[in-house]
């Protein structure tokens, strides 16, 4: 009798555990991070890829949306030739799974499309279907990185306003810092909700990075009354360009080089932060749609 009671107690306990895990898994929400910059050519694409790979190698499930329609984007760096992109999904020609490109270390890449604003014109049924498809990814992923283009186009603005977190890349150059300030100003004017963090790339030494970050933080504090966090510094390192020539990311081609070590440090900082109430991929796309459906101002 006593044995039976004990068995029942154990079964109940294991069931409880199962349910707890299920709840945890259902609640687990993917963090959406947009990597952006004011000035072009400051290293967004390389860093978005480097950070994604650092997290993927640490065991996280990571996807990267290649939303930069410029020349040297993620597919070029990795030597990929995607046949389909998001536009095919919006037109109902392909499913998201069909357009995903497998990258190194289990990383998955979504080829973007310059016609992302098509989202606003989808009929409600197609949109609901797309959102359902997207929400299935929410539990399959820990991070979605978005490599945006430079500057403040409507498309970039849509991405940085919809993301949970924004990584703003700049170099210590005065022109890059000025453009970074311009982007923060617009982000603030549109009441961006995501946490904004600064990465200073191509620094000669940490001191230079620190000074540049302080300069920008001071102006942002003084004129916008905003605190801006610094995620870290990445040194100027020729292995970044050398890896691109080999159609690889520096993170994998030169894992022990200074740029890679600094990237790992930033990735682990990002990983340690619990994420500020992420709304998941579905929340991100819903906000994108709402933005594109709204009138430009
Ligand atoms: N830490 C670094 N050290 C040395 N070179 C770097 C570093 N980061 C990026 N680069 C180089 O700077 C150039 C621009 O990098 P990348 O394409 O990543 O910038 P981007 O901001 O994405 O540019 P765009 O605005 O055109 O999208 C590339 O040639 C890249 O190899
Ligand atoms: Mg780029």
Res. 25: pLDDT tops 60? no
Give percent of the chain above pLDDT 70: 90
Res. 18: pLDDT tops 60? no
Question: Over the stretch 277-291, which tens digit does the pLDDT of each residue have?
Answer: 788 888 898 898 889
Across residues 95-108, what is the average pLDDT?
A: 94
Cα separation of 71 and 10, whole Å? 60
Q: Confidence band (pLDDT; 50, 70, 90) for 23?
A: very low
How many Å lie between the centroid of ligand 2 and the Cα of residue 150?
7
For residue 106, report the phi and psi dihedrals to the nearest 5 degrees.
Answer: 85, 0
All domains of the chain, ordered by start, with CATH?
Answer: 29-293 (3.40.50.300)
Res. 117: pLDDT tops 80? no
Nearest CA residue ID for atom 19, ligand 1: 43
pTM: 0.89
Q: Which of 185-189, 201-205, 223-227, 290-294 has the lowest mean pLDDT?
A: 290-294
Residue with tokens 């992302």: 116
Question: Over the stretch 164-195, which tens digit does the pLDDT of each residue have?
Answer: 999 999 999 999 999 999 999 999 999 888 88
Res. 69: pLDDT tops 80? no
For residue 157, report the phi and psi dihedrals to the nearest 5 degrees.
Answer: -60, -45
How many Å lie between the centroid of ligand 2 and the Cα of residue 129?
30
Q: Which residues line ligand 1 (CB under 6 A)?
A: 37, 40-46, 68, 70, 72, 149-150, 201-202, 234, 236-237, 240-241, 244, 259
3-state secondary structure labels for all residues of the chain: CHHHHHHHHHHHHHHHHHHHHHHHHHHCCCEEEEEECCCCCCCHHHHHHHHHHHHHHCCCCEEEEECCCCCCCHHHHHCCCCCCCHHHHHCCCCCHHHHCEECHHHCEEEECCCCHHHHHHCCHHHHHHHHHHHHHHHCCCCEEEEECCCCCCHHHHHHHHHCCEEEEEECCCHHHHHHHHHHHHHHHHCCCCCEEEEEEEEECCHHHHHHHHHHHHHHHHHHHCCCCEEEEEEECCHHHHHHHHCCCCHHHHCCCCHHHHHHHHHHHHHHHCCCCCCCHHHHHHHHHHHHHHCCCC
Q: Which of 46-50, 122-126, 147-151 has the lowest mean pLDDT?
A: 122-126
Q: Specify the ligand 1 atom closest to the Cα of 40.
A: 25
Average pLDDT value for the chain:
88
Res. 105: pLDDT tops 80? yes
Closest ligand to residue 43's CA: 1
Cα separation of 264 and 58, whole Å? 10
The pLDDT value recorded for residue 22 is 47
Greater confidence (115 vs 263) lies with 263
The pLDDT value recorded for residue 132 is 85
Nearest CA residue ID for atom 2, ligand 1: 236
Greater confidence (29 vs 229) lies with 229
């Amino acid at each position: 009798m006593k044995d039976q009671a004990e068995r029942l107690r154990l079964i109940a306990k294991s069931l409880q555990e199962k349910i707890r895990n299920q709840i945890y898994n259902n609640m687990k929400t993917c963090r959406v991070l947009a990597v952006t910059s004011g000035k072009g050519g400051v290293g967004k694409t390389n860093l978005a890829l480097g950070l994604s790979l650092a997290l993927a190698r640490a065991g996280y499930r990571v996807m990267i949306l290649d939303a930069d329609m410029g020349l040297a984007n993620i597919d070029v760096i990795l030597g990929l030739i995607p046949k389909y992109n998001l536009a095919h999904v919006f037109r109902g020609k392909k499913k998201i799974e069909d357009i995903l490109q497998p990258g190194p270390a289990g990383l998955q890449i979504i080829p973007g499309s310059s016609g992302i604003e098509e989202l606003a014109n989808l009929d409600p049924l197609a949109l609901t279907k797309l959102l359902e498809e997207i929400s299935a990814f929410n539990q399959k992923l820990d991070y979605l990185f978005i490599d945006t283009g430079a500057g403040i186009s409507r498309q970039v603005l849509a991405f940085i306003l919809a993301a949970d977190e924004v990584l703003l890349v700049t170099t210590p150059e005065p022109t890059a810092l000025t453009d970074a300030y311009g982007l923060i100003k617009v982000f603030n004017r549109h009441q961006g909700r995501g946490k904004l963090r600064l990465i200073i790339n191509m620094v000669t030494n940490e001191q230079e990075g620190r000074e540049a970050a302080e300069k920008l933080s001071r102006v942002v504090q003084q004129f916008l009354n905003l605190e801006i966090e610094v995620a870290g510094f990445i040194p100027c390192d020729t292995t970044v360009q050398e890896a691109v020539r080999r159609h690889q990311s520096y993170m994998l081609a030169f894992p022990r080089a200074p740029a890679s070590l600094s990237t790992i440090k930033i990735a682990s900082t990002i990983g340690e932060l619990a994420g500020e109430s992420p709304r998941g991929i579905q929340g991100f796309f819903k906000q994108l749609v709402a933005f594109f459906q709204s009138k430009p101002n």
